[in-house]
Amino acid sequence: MTDFQEQLNHISSYTSKLLRKKFGRGPELCSGTLSERYLLLHIRGFISPMEEVLLQQGMSKDVDTARSVIIAHVLEELKGVVQISLEVDVIEYYQDWNFPNNTGVIILVFEKEVEKKSITQVNNIGEFEKEISRISAIVQKVPDEIEITPLSDTILLVKREGILIQIEKALISKGYKNELLITKDELEKEYFHRYSRFNEILNRVVRDIFIDWDVEKDKSLMVFILQ
């Protein structure tokens, strides 16, 4: 059996080098967490000088759009390295960035489980799921399915399926996918950050919430980074 920690260190180091190659500078920290079918790369201290200027001018949407395009190329290269290192196929990947906190995540989803199920216990997991449903319903609808996976003591991954309403599906079919994603990004993050009770429910401080969507498959992955 492969030494997963050694492979994680290699993948994290390779990711930092890829980001430096594509952006002209690498992150201050890139750490990997592996659990079940997920590999999460938590990235900190990664805003280039050009992006910093644009962010100061209030152009966060432009920075987010440009970064997403470049990160897509990074992911294609990273995918091959991960598949060889962990001997498993990558079937999906997600990404999100919190510019005010200068943090981000990259999530790779595997076709099969490569690491044992986490034994991390989450307090009030039922109430936590209800709160996700409540906020999701305010913004769009209650998800058809919610699956919560603790990746570590400080990282919770939430998969939501069946989250799109009919008007969103119609916008996607008419070619407005990018506009919809920008709107969802702003709206969902605002509500999940400002109008939720996660700190109270988990009895932990939520430092970061990351969200990305696969609208073609009508699903979303969320990551909660806890204090």
- The mean of the pLDDT values for the chain is 91
At 158, which helix (H) or strand (E)? strand 155-161
Whole-model pTM: value is 0.92
**Mean pLDDT along residues 22-44:** 92
Q: Report helix, strand and coil shares of the chain as percent, to nearest 5.
A: 45, 25, 30
Residue at a domain's end among 81, 110, 139: 110
If one compares 156 and 23, the residue with the highest pLDDT of the two is 156
Cα–Cα distance, 156 to 169 (Å, whole number): 28
At 209, which helix (H) or strand (E)? strand 206-214
Residue at a domain's end among 45, 77, 110: 110
Mark whether 11 and 97 lie in a shared domain: yes
Which tens digits make up the pLDDT trace of 130-148? 999 999 999 999 999 999 9
pLDDT for position 1: 40
CB count within 10 Å of CB 49 equals 9
Mark whether 135 and 70 lie in a shared domain: no
Residue type, 6: E
Mark whether 103 and 138 lie in a shared domain: no
Q: Is residue 193 part of a domain?
A: yes
Q: What is residue 54's three-state secondary structure?
A: helix
What is the domain extent for residue 212?
Answer: 125-226
Residue 5 has pLDDT above 70, yes or no: yes
Mark whether 87 and 14 lie in a shared domain: yes
Mark whether 61 and 95 lie in a shared domain: yes
Mark whether 79 and 17 lie in a shared domain: yes
Which tens digits make up the pLDDT trace of 152-173? 999 999 999 999 999 999 999 9
CATH code, domain carrying 53: 3.30.980
Label residue 224 exposed, middle or buried (CB < 10 Å: 0-12, 13-18, 19+): buried
Cα–Cα distance, 181 to 10 (Å, whole number): 32
Mark whether 105 and 8 lie in a shared domain: yes
**Mean pLDDT along residues 197-223:** 95
- Structural tokens at position 217: 């498959």
Q: What is the DSSP letter of 38?
A: E
If one compares 117 and 175, the residue with the highest pLDDT of the two is 175
Mark whether 10 and 72 lie in a shared domain: yes
Beta strands 206-214 and 29-35, pairing class: unpaired
**Mean pLDDT along residues 194-199:** 94
At 214, which helix (H) or strand (E)? strand 206-214
Q: Is residue 99 part of a domain?
A: yes
Q: How many domains does the chain have?
A: 2
Q: Is residue 22 part of a domain?
A: yes
* Rounded (5°) CA angle 75-25-99: 75
Mark whether 87 and 53 lie in a shared domain: yes
Decide: 27 and 43 in contact? Cβ < 8 Å: yes
Q: What is the DSSP letter of 211?
A: E
Q: Is residue 155 part of a domain?
A: yes
